Amino acid sequence: MPLFLLFIFWGTLSFAQTYPCPATYAELDVVKLEVKNKDEFYFCFGYHHGKDRAWAMDYFRRSAEGRNSEVFGFDHLKSDLMMRLLNLEGHAARIWNLYPAEEKKNLEAYSRGVNAGFKLGKTAKEFVDGEYEPEAWKPVHTLEVLLFSLSIRPEKHLCPIGNRKDLSPDGEIRQHSSWIMTVLLGKIRS
């Protein structure tokens, strides 16, 4: 019997690497990390995001997935339906499947850090007042939030120098941001 309990306990252990993540905060709460390797960097980067920005991360993830009405009620239903039609969740999953293995490791370390940070971040006033906690962060959620931010103001992220134009692969001059969004959302076929 004790051997059986030991086996069950052993199966519940997590072997994912965690780090202490000491940091200093510079002006405007910018985090300065001292790390020893890339895995530690991504873990600690995620940890401080999860600890300091848990509510915003959860809000933008829910926005990207079209799930804010679950927490905030009927007023968010219209925007949720629009986001579900965009299917950013599906696009992010396809991108994740094509991601190089090394980059997947980085996002997995980041996600482990976010979830460790959420343990402290879930005490944010917004979570307490709303009487809910953030769900576990998965690597694909990072891609969803990135696609969401591109869907709101793509020119802000991809074309910061004003009205710059760029060449698309087929040689036509198009707005850089519009072309990228079209490619991301699968409207152009090679």
pLDDT of 63-119, one tens digit each?
Answer: 999 999 999 999 999 999 999 999 999 999 999 998 889 889 999 999 999 999 999
pLDDT beyond 90 at 46: yes
pLDDT beyond 50 at 181: no
* Better pLDDT: 164 or 141: 141
pLDDT value of residue 185: 45
pLDDT beyond 90 at 126: yes
pLDDT beyond 60 at 186: no
Q: Which of 105-109, 167-171, 186-190 has the largest mean confidence?
A: 105-109
**Buried residues in 4-16 as b, exposed as e (16+ CB within 10 A):** eeeeeeeeeeeee
Query: 153 falls in which pLDDT band (50, 70, 90)?
Result: low
CB distance 43 to 18 below 8 Å: yes
pLDDT beyond 50 at 51: yes
CB distance 89 to 144 below 8 Å: yes
Looking at the chain, the whole-number percentage of residues with pLDDT higher than 90 is: 53
pTM for this predicted structure: 0.73
**Buried residues in 115-145 as b, exposed as e (16+ CB within 10 A):** bbbbeebbebeebeeeeebbeebbbbbbbbb
* Better pLDDT: 166 or 113: 113
pLDDT value of residue 149: 86
pLDDT value of residue 16: 58
Average pLDDT, the chain: 77
pLDDT beyond 80 at 127: yes
The DSSP bridge partners found for residue 74 are none
The residue type found at 71 is V
Question: Which domains are delineated in the chain?
Answer: 13-152 (1.10.439.10), 161-190 (no CATH)
